[in-house]
Amino acid sequence: MLLVWVCVSVLQSVWLNAPCAAEIMDQTKPGGTVALTCSISDSTNTLSWFHGGKLIHSINPKNGLPLRGKAEMVKRSRLKHETTLEISGVTRGDAGLFTCKVGRQEEQHRLIVASASVAPPVPLVVGGGAVLRCDVDGLADGWTVQWRGPGGRSHEAATVHLSPVTEQDGGTWECAITPSGKTITDVKIQVRDPLPPTSPPPPTTRMTVGNKEACPHCVNGTQTAQTPPLLPMELSWWVWAAIGGGCVVVLLWVLALIMYNRLSRRKRRFMKMKEAALLRPKNYCQCPGPRVTTGPGRTKPSAPAPPPARPEP
């Protein structure tokens, strides 16, 4: 019994700690955003995400300290809710196998990056040709790509040539992978009938004058095309720009001419005033001498007495 109990305990331990080999498939288009969620629940061990053997992100649930790897994808990814790896701006190089590791337990996610295209662009013309292309990255070994068209048609190839295009080709084309049969991308094709042939131009009306034929648009017997006059709203934007620029130049020239004439008149008026001032006689200041007043109570000052004669020696 003891031996049986030991065997059971060992088998239980190996089964609980054995890595999970099942793959979870996720898909997106180039340039999109994808979220890979790890379903392993363990609050005691560190959770780490790897891609191609390179560490992307890691977090310790005990202290919540994150650790970032050195891969190029690290700049475009982050850990969300501690278990989900979110990648933005997905490129074709991001496709492949991702590993979520918690302790000794592992969970693998396979990211498929797919895009579909149609050449020439839709709508297609009945009777023409077209090429459907499905570009898929990240497939596992042994997986293939197939196209499923309207009406249950299938093509076991990533590239399908439609020649000639028929009305039955219109509808939704799905690009799927085998053996799972899951649709990874699709395109919708519209088909239209070819355009009807253009009708020839109407014949030119000719008039007969005497014994000669005449037409309103003929010069020396040769027909010339008559171009209808353009309406103002049919002119190009550069024509309107040229007209506006010409109007502005003419307006500035007129303003400059008006200012020049005004300044010339002021200058001539100033010169005339200056010449008139030079020809006008000058009145110099004549200061009056001492005034002699006579009247009652006032006497005329007598002349100063001559100096005494000096005695002769």
Task: Count CB-CB contacts under 10 A for residue 87.
Answer: 23
pLDDT class of 28 with cuts at 50, 70, 90 = very high
Q: Does the structure show a pLDDT above 80 at 161?
A: yes
Task: Count CB-CB contacts under 10 A for residue 70.
Answer: 8
pLDDT class of 222 with cuts at 50, 70, 90 = low
Among 70-74, 131-135, 230-234, the range scoring the smallest mean pLDDT is 230-234
Domains annotated for the chain, with CATH where assigned, are 20-113 (2.60.40.10), 120-192 (2.60.40.10)
Q: Does the structure show a pLDDT above 60 at 67?
A: yes
Write down the mean pLDDT value for the chain: 80
Give the separation between CA 269 and CA 273, rounded to whole angstroms: 6
Nearest Cα residue to 204 out of 229, 222, 179, 186:
222
Tens of pLDDT, residues 86-123: 999 999 999 999 999 998 899 999 999 999 999 999 89
State what percent of residues in the chain have pLDDT above 70. Answer: 70
Tens of pLDDT, residues 250-301: 999 999 999 999 999 888 888 888 888 777 776 655 556 555 555 555 555 5
pLDDT class of 208 with cuts at 50, 70, 90 = low
3-state secondary structure 95-118: CEEEEEEECCEEEEEEEEEEEEEE
What are the C-alpha distances in Å from 64 to residues 45, 215, 249?
11, 94, 73
What are the C-alpha distances in Å from 119 to residues 29, 116, 151, 160, 163?
19, 10, 21, 11, 12
pLDDT class of 179 with cuts at 50, 70, 90 = confident
Give the per-residue pLDDT at 299. Answer: 54
Q: What residues pair up with 110 in beta bridges, in sequence order?
A: 25, 97
Q: Does the structure show a pLDDT above 80 at 130?
A: yes
Q: Does the structure show a pLDDT above 50 at 6?
A: no
Q: Does the structure show a pLDDT above 90 at 22?
A: no
Give the per-residue pLDDT at 219. Answer: 53
User: 207-216 contacts: CB < 8 A, separation 24 or more?
Assistant: none
Q: Does the structure show a pLDDT above 90 at 224?
A: no
Query: H or E element: which one contains 80?
Result: strand 77-80
pLDDT class of 152 with cuts at 50, 70, 90 = confident
